């Protein structure tokens, strides 16, 4: 039997951008649109053209740049909005005008200050006008989740007759429950006589954390387009998250029995791009793309994953573009995970020695949130952590600015060479990068930064900045921490600490 395909309508660039503080400039919106196309999104809602000249230009540029996906522009049920949307999307290979008008009595009476009859007339008039410009018209019955079903069905039937090829049923304020929302979709399918002439779409908000559940329930009941955003960003608590819906369908193929065009391997990259451009961080425990989505901390789970990944992972991290899952060592870890890590660090220890290290590990883990490779080496080598540092930072200076190439000079003593003082300078993409390049020139360590975070540990403009980083050397992760009121100095100190740990490790081997 031929499987239906779910149309993914991504509204990161429109509703997603309505997340407070998440707005993107022209270039950023274009970058996201291109990545959404690579991700395999069927329809990209690029913006709300009437809302500002900048948004109009962004939608127009996206319409020109995107070749495979449809490009939609949002419009109220008003001629000037629809005309502006068309003027922006008409450059697309597959343009769409998305017209919305509320159908709940609350919105009709309080917000729009109209009657149901006027709304019906406005909706039909708007769709007819849109259709005279563009063949692909989507109509959204805003606040459908709280709309009277008789009136909603009447509007849906009328806009399909007027030319809408997609009818969207939004749960605008995230009010409905999954079974209830699914039943509404089923009822629309049953009651609207011409419903087969249009695609039923849903657009769910996350006010009660049910946006994805409601979208999936709608799919079970016949919706064939889902409107969603990357990382679930959007107005208030956000929209249904694209990655969660796409992966639910992929992980449970027999349950949903539908397909989609999303190239799930591009999910993680897209999530990173959107969070870095909008500045909206992804919560660590976010499904599919959160930092902990494929990280295991507890001993029983780690043991299971080491024996067979599927015991605690329903998705393969590679399927969403995350290179591998990780076993984070901490106070809940057990022997299997610790001994496995010790082995992969190149140590071959007798079982008695391993037991002793496990005991020390548990004591340390009670004090420290995460145990890194260098902590384990310190436990094994006993004195590794307390060893005199090999390279000492004597002096560091960096210059940067809007019209300067960031440049840094560092002076370091090499305690292996009778405290010989070495000095180097380097340029970089920023002052920290330049400083690290100058340090690399002196220490000549094969070390690669894998993680870098900076936070203020006190308040005010003279706050102390604390840099915490992780760096990879010979397959092992070394951590470094540095504190200073000067963030470049804090960065240099943290990097030097990781380098010294790595060098000490080399010496022991
Ligand atoms: C559910 C959603 O997410 S809908 C999309 C929401 N997104 C946005 O609002 C972002 C972009 N918005 C904007 O930049 C501005 O709101 C604009 C440019 C669109 C409009 O600005 P303004 O003309 O100053 O109006 P304002 O936003 O204050 O009020 C909205 C007006 O649109 C009317 N309106 C609201 N929805 C619709 C609709 N679907 N069709 C027709 N009119 C509508 C309101 O009744 C109100 O009209 P009034 O001025 O006669 O009272
Ligand atoms: C414009 C519509 C689809 C919308 O954003 C909503 O109802 O939340």
CB 167 within 8 A of CB 199: yes
Q: Whose atoms come closest to the Cα of 140: which ligand?
A: 2
- Extract the annotated binding site for Mn(2+): 15, 203, 205, 239
Question: Is residue 383 very low, low, confident or very high in pLDDT (cuts 50, 70, 90)?
Answer: very low
pLDDT of residue 277 exceeding 90, the answer is yes
Task: Give the single-character DSSP code of 441.
Answer: H
- Put simply, whether the predicted model's pTM sits higher than 0.90 gets the answer no
Q: Whose atoms come closest to the Cα of 102: which ligand?
A: 1
Task: Please indicate whether residue 100, judged by its CB atom, sits closer than 6 Å to ligand 2.
Answer: yes
Q: How far is the CA of 73 from the centre of ligand 2 (A)?
A: 12
Q: How far is the CA of 1 from the centre of ligand 2 (A)?
A: 34
Domain 295-381 CATH class label: mainly alpha
pLDDT for 186-234, tens place per residue? 999 999 999 999 999 999 999 999 999 999 999 999 999 999 999 999 9
More confident call, 325 vs 464 = 325
Burial readout 202-223 (b: 16 or more C-beta within 10 A, e: otherwise): bbbbbbeebbbbbbbbbbbbeb
- Residue of 170, 173, 237 to mutate, ligand 2, most atoms within 8 A of C-beta: 170
Rounded Cα gap, residues 472 and 139, in angstroms? 52
Calculate mean pLDDT across residues 41-69: 97
Indicate the CATH number of 391-508 among 3.30.160.270, 3.40.50.1820, 1.10.1060.10, 3.40.50.620.
3.30.160.270
Domain ranges of the chain: 4-278, 295-381, 391-508
CB 464 within 8 A of CB 484: yes
pLDDT for 339-371, tens place per residue? 999 999 889 999 999 999 999 999 989 988 889
Q: Which two tokens stand for residue 130?
A: 């849109």
- What is the model's pLDDT at position 401? 87
Long-range contacts of 440-443 (CB under 8 A, 24+ apart): 442/391, 442/410, 442/412, 442/414, 443/391, 443/412, 443/499, 443/503
pLDDT for 403-418, tens place per residue? 889 999 999 999 888 7
Q: Which two tokens stand for residue 23?
A: 């707005």
Share of the chain above pLDDT 90, in %: 84
Q: For residue 116, which of 126, 130, 102 has the smallest C-alpha distance? A: 102
- What is the model's pLDDT at position 488? 95
> Which are the contacts of 253, defined by CB distance < 8 A and separation ≥ 6?
none
Task: Please indicate whether residue 11, judged by its CB atom, sits closer than 6 Å to ligand 2.
Answer: no
The number of CA neighbours under 13 Å toward the Cβ of 81 is: 17
**Mean pLDDT over the full length of the chain:** 94
Q: Which residues pair with 410 in a beta bridge?
A: 396, 424
> How many other CB atoms are found less than 10 A from the CB of residue 85?
30
Q: Whose atoms come closest to the Cα of 53: which ligand?
A: 1
Q: How far is the CA of 50 from the centre of ligand 1 (A)?
A: 10
Which ligand 1 atom sits nearest the alpha carbon of residue 172?
A: 1
Q: For residue 395, which of 452, 435, 433 has the smallest C-alpha distance? A: 435
pLDDT for 138-188, tens place per residue? 999 999 999 999 999 999 999 999 999 999 999 999 999 999 999 999 999
Which ligand 2 atom sits nearest the alpha carbon of residue 239?
A: 8
- Residue of 203, 204, 215, 240 to mutate, ligand 2, most atoms within 8 A of C-beta: 203
Please state, in angstroms and as integers, the Cα–Cα distance from residue 473 to each residue in 29, 50, 297, 326, following that order.
37, 53, 23, 17
Which ligand 2 atom sits nearest the alpha carbon of residue 18?
A: 5
Share of the chain above pLDDT 70, in %: 96
pLDDT of residue 98 exceeding 90, the answer is yes
Rounded Cα gap, residues 186 and 223, in angstroms? 9
Rounded Cα gap, residues 240 and 287, in angstroms? 12
Question: Is residue 468 very low, low, confident or very high in pLDDT (cuts 50, 70, 90)?
Answer: very high
Q: How far is the CA of 74 from the centre of ligand 1 (A)?
A: 11
- What is the model's pLDDT at position 50? 98
- What is the model's pLDDT at position 375? 83
Rounded Cα gap, residues 259 and 224, in angstroms? 10
CB 153 within 8 A of CB 190: no
Q: Note whether ipTM > 0.85 here.
A: yes
Q: How far is the CA of 45 from the centre of ligand 2 (A)?
A: 11
Please state, in angstroms and as integers, the Cα–Cα distance from residue 151 to each residue in 49, 146, 207, following that order.
29, 11, 24
What would the CATH number be for the domain defined by 4-278? 3.20.20.70
Q: How far is the CA of 204 from the centre of ligand 2 (A)?
A: 8
Question: Is residue 386 very low, low, confident or very high in pLDDT (cuts 50, 70, 90)?
Answer: very low
């Amino acid at each position: 039997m031929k499987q239906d395909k779910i149309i993914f309508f991504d509204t990161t660039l429109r509703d997603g951008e309505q997340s407070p503080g998440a707005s993107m400039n022209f270039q950023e919106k274009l970058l996201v649109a291109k990545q959404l196309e690579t991700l395999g999104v069927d329809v990209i809602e690029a913006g709300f053209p009437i809302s500002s000249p900048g948004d109009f230009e962004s939608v127009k540029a996206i319409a020109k740049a995107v070749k495979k996906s449809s490009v939609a522009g949002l419009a109220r049920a008003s001629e000037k909005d629809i005309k502006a949307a068309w003027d922006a999307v008409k450059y697309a290979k597959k343009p769409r005008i998305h017209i919305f008008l509320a159908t709940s009595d609350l919105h009709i009476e309080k917000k729009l200050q109209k009657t149901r009859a006027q709304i019906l007339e406005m909706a039909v008039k708007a769709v007819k006008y849109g259709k005279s410009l563009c063949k692909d018209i989507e109509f959204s019955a805003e606040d459908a989740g709280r709309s009277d079903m008789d009136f909603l069905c009447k509007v849906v039937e009328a806009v399909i007759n007027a030319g809408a090829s997609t009818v969207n049923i939004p749960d605008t304020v995230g009010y409905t429950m999954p079974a209830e929302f699914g039943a509404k979709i089923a009822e629309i399918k049953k009651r609207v006589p011409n419903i087969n002439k249009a695609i039923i779409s849903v657009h769910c908000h996350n006010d009660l954390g049910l946006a994805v559940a409601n979208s999936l329930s709608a799919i079970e009941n016949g919706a064939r387009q889902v409107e969603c955003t990357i990382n679930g960003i959007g107005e208030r608590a956000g929209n249904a998250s694209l990655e969660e819906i796409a992966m639910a369908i992929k992980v449970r193929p027999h349950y949903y029995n539908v397909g989609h065009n999303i190239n799930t391997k591009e999910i993680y990259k897209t999530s990173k791009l959107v969070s870095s451009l909008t500045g909206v961080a992804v919560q660590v425990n976010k499904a599919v793309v959160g930092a902990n989505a494929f990280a295991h901390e507890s001993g029983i789970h780690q043991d299971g994953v080491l024996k067979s990944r599927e015991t605690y992972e329903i998705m393969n991290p590679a399927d969403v573009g995350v290179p591998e899952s990780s076993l984070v060592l901490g106070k809940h870890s057990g022997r299997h995970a610790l001994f496995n890590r010790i082995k992969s660090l190149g140590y071959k220890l007798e079982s008695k020695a391993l037991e002793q290290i496990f005991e020390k590990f548990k004591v340390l883990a009670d004090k420290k949130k995460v145990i890194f490779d260098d902590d384990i080496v310190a436990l094994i080598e006993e004195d590794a952590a307390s060893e005199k540092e090999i390279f000492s930072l004597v002096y560091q200076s960096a210059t940067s600015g809007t019209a300067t190439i960031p440049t840094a000079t560092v002076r370091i003593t090499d305690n292996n060479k009778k405290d010989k003082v070495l000095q180097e300078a380097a340029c970089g993409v920023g002052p920290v990068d330049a400083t690290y390049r100058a340090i690399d020139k002196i220490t000549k360590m094969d070390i690669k930064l894998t993680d870098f975070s900076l936070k203020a540990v006190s308040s005010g403009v003279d706050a102390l900045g604390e840099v915490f980083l992780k760096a990879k050397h010979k397959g092992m992760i070394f951590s470094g921490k540095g504190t200073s009121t000067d963030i470049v100095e804090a960065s240099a100190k943290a990097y030097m600490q990781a380098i010294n740990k790595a060098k000490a490790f080399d010496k022991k081997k």
